[in-house]
């Protein structure tokens, strides 16, 4: 098993990008990552591209080989990875595994989604394909409805208050306001969150991420090659992946996603560190309640403490455990196939000391992406090289 580094990263802005198609978004992020790495594109031996609903929302399949050809990478293995909203995170895992195993020396990883050209109802229907169609989704359940039930369960079990959950949105919007690539750049308040319109009770509009266009990319290679081209490399200490029930009816506990727990256990075991060693985390806040559950499933906080930590400022940029300093999916935006690689982009900047919301002394970062309502999860642990 070879040491693996991220030599370079790139990202488009996240938001409504009407003048750029899905292929252009992906190639722009990839070119930025390659330029950032200093590694000639001719050395790239494979491409892994995360995408969830390109066929439905952008009328484009076969994205990986199209992007590879546009980049001048003709003939290399080019693979699309689909795992709902964890597509980008799991694409990174595939790239990491091939490098650490000695199959490839330099791999390009990307994630992309184009969502804003389509009516909201069509986007909602496309995203719902990450649920179990036969058991639940054909009854009309949507992911806001599913996470509304998760919120109710967390509030009932742990006494988490509506205001504590709203504090996640306030924190992430504050962080997004300082992130030049974020979709939402305006702070909000507890009062605005809890009085915004209902989406699925008790979930309100400001508990949800926006519909987003965007792409992100990373150059993954051996640590030796990275050191030859850059002094700003970031080491991948570990990569974990897990799966869990696709339907809520298959979950034993609505306040915990087994896929995240399994992926985290694998990653921490591989990295040989404890959750308390993490300096900064980017976690999958597809809704406010999802951030609280993620911090607890990852072992970053004790069960039931997520709400208190958000309310007290413990997870703020200047808190004990900064969570989603990028603004998270809620403020930065959620181009579903790209979000997992976008987290890697933000953590790489943090560990290089170059982030907009820089966490002082950040040396170990954790990225967590999740697909569906716990169907799949990926956890990566990065360190300053």
Residues 157 and 90 occupy one common structural domain: no
Residues 38 and 144 occupy one common structural domain: no
Residues 71 and 23 occupy one common structural domain: yes
Residues 152 and 283 occupy one common structural domain: yes
CA distance 345 to 340: 9
Considering only CA atoms, which of 33, 1, 8 is closest in space to residue 225? 8
Is residue 190 one of the residues assigned to a domain? yes
Is residue 375 one of the residues assigned to a domain? yes
CA distance 333 to 285: 10
Residues 322 and 284 occupy one common structural domain: yes
Is residue 60 one of the residues assigned to a domain? yes
Number of domains in the chain: 2
Q: Cα–chain-centroid distance for residue 260?
A: 13
Residues 50 and 167 occupy one common structural domain: no
Residues 295 and 242 occupy one common structural domain: yes
pTM of the full structure: 0.98
Q: What is the CATH number of the domain that holds 81?
A: 3.40.47.10
Domain that holds residue 142: 129-206+236-384
Question: Can you give the pLDDT at residue 139?
Answer: 87
Q: Is 102 exposed, middle or buried (0-12, 13-18, 19+ CB in 10 A)?
A: exposed
Question: Can you give the pLDDT at residue 138?
Answer: 87
Is residue 309 one of the residues assigned to a domain? yes
What percent of the chain has pLDDT above 90?
A: 97
Residues 298 and 271 occupy one common structural domain: yes
Is residue 226 one of the residues assigned to a domain? yes
Residues 135 and 34 occupy one common structural domain: no
Question: Can you give the pLDDT at residue 259?
Answer: 98
Residues 106 and 167 occupy one common structural domain: no
Active-site entry in 94, 284, 334, 368: 334
Residues 113 and 156 occupy one common structural domain: no
- Is 334 annotated in the active site? yes
Is residue 124 one of the residues assigned to a domain? no
Question: Can you give the pLDDT at residue 135?
Answer: 87
Angle in degrees, CA 86, 92, 96, rounded to 5: 145
What are the average pLDDT values for consecutive 10-residue runs of the chain, which has 385 residues? Answer: 97 98 98 98 98 97 98 97 98 98 98 97 94 89 95 98 98 98 98 97 97 98 98 97 95 97 98 98 98 98 98 98 98 98 98 97 98 97 91
Active-site entry in 30, 85, 221, 373: 85
Residues 268 and 279 occupy one common structural domain: yes
> Left if phi > 0, otherwise alpha if psi is -120 to 50, otherwise beta: which for 132?
beta
Question: Can you give the pLDDT at residue 246?
Answer: 94
Is residue 123 one of the residues assigned to a domain? no
């Amino acid at each position: 098993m070879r040491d693996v580094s991220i030599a370079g990263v790139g990202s488009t802005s996240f938001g409504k990008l009407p003048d750029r198609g899905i292929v252009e978004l992906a190639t722009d992020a990839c070119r930025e990552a390659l330029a950032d790495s200093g590694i000639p594109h001719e050395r790239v031996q494979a491409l892994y591209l995360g995408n969830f609903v390109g066929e439905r929302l952008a009328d484009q399949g076969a994205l990986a080989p199209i992007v590879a050809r546009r980049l001048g990478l003709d003939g290399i293995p080019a693979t699309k990875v689909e795992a709902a909203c964890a597509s980008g995170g799991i694409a990174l895992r595939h790239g990491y595994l091939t490098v650490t195993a000695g199959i490839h020396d330099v791999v390009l990883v990307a994630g992309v989604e184009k969502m804003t050209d389509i009516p909201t109802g069509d986007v909602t229907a496309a995203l719902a394909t990450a649920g179990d169609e036969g058991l639940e989704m054909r009854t009309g359940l949507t992911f806001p409805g599913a996470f509304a039930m998760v919120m109710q369960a967390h509030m009932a079990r742990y006494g988490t208050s509506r205001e504590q959950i709203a504090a996640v949105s306030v924190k992430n919007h504050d962080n997004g306001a300082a992130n030049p690539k974020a979709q939402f750049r305006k702070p909000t308040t507890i009062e605005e969150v809890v009085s915004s319109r209902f989406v699925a009770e008790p979930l309100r509009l400001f508990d949800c991420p926006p519909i987003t266009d965007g792409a992100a990319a990373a150059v993954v290679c051996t640590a030796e090659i990275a050191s030859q081209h850059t002094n700003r490399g970031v080491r991948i200490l570990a990569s974990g992946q897990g799966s869990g029930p696709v339907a809520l009816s298959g979950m034993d506990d609505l306040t915990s996603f087994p896929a995240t727990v399994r992926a985290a256990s694998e990653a921490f075991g591989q990295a040989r560190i404890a959750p308390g060693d993490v300096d900064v985390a980017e976690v999958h806040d597809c809704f406010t309640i999802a951030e609280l559950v993620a911090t607890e499933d990852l072992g970053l906080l004790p069960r039931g403490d997520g709400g208190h930590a958000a309310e007290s400022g413990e997870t703020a940029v200047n808190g004990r455990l900064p969570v989603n300093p990028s603004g998270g999916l809620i403020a930065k935006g959620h181009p579903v196939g790209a979000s997992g690689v976008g987290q890697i982009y933000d953590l790489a900047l943090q560990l290089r000391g170059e982030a907009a919301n820089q966490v002082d002394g950040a040396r170990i970062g954790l990225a967590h992406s999740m697909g569906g309502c716990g169907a799949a999860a990926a956890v990566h642990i990065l360190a300053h090289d």
